[in-house]
Amino acid sequence: METKIQQTQAELVKAIADIATTMPLARTVQLYQFALFLKTHPLPTEETFEEIAADEALWDTQFMATDDEKLAALVAAVEAEISEGQTLPMFDEHGEFIEHQ
């Protein structure tokens, strides 16, 4: 006899499979890749949330201490590189990450 959780999970798996059968193959592959990503990245724990909050507080402190003029100069330098075509794309036309060597 299935428990309520197992029944709900089975229903969700069937619903996902039904959706996947209506998608183009490329989207189904993306769905599969995303499922693999989720499988290897467990849900955060309460401890993880505390670590993230502490990290964000540190980031906020460091960012607030940043010299606005230096940050503006960095932004201008990056924008100049982009407009001059001195940058490389991060993603291809399919949204896949490009590793440059």
Largest CA distance in the chain: 67
Which residues, 6 or more positions from 88, have their beta carbon under 8 angstroms from its beta carbon? 98, 100
**Mean pLDDT value of segment 9-24:** 95
CA distance linking residue 32 with residue 4, whole number of Å? 25
If asked whether residues 36 and 49 sit together in one domain, one would say no
- Pair 24, 47 in one domain: no
Dump pLDDT digits (tens) for 57-77.
999 999 899 899 999 999 999
Please check whether residues 37 and 77 belong to one and the same domain.
no
Same domain for 14 and 52? Answer: no
Q: Indicate whether 101 belongs to any domain.
A: no
* pTM for the model: 0.44
- Cα Rg of the chain, angstroms: 22
Domain that holds residue 63: 43-95
Same domain, 29 and 13: yes
Termini Cα distance of the chain: 55
pLDDT of res. 7: 86
Instruction: Please indicate, yes or no, whether residues 51 and 80 belong to a single structural domain of this protein.
Output: yes
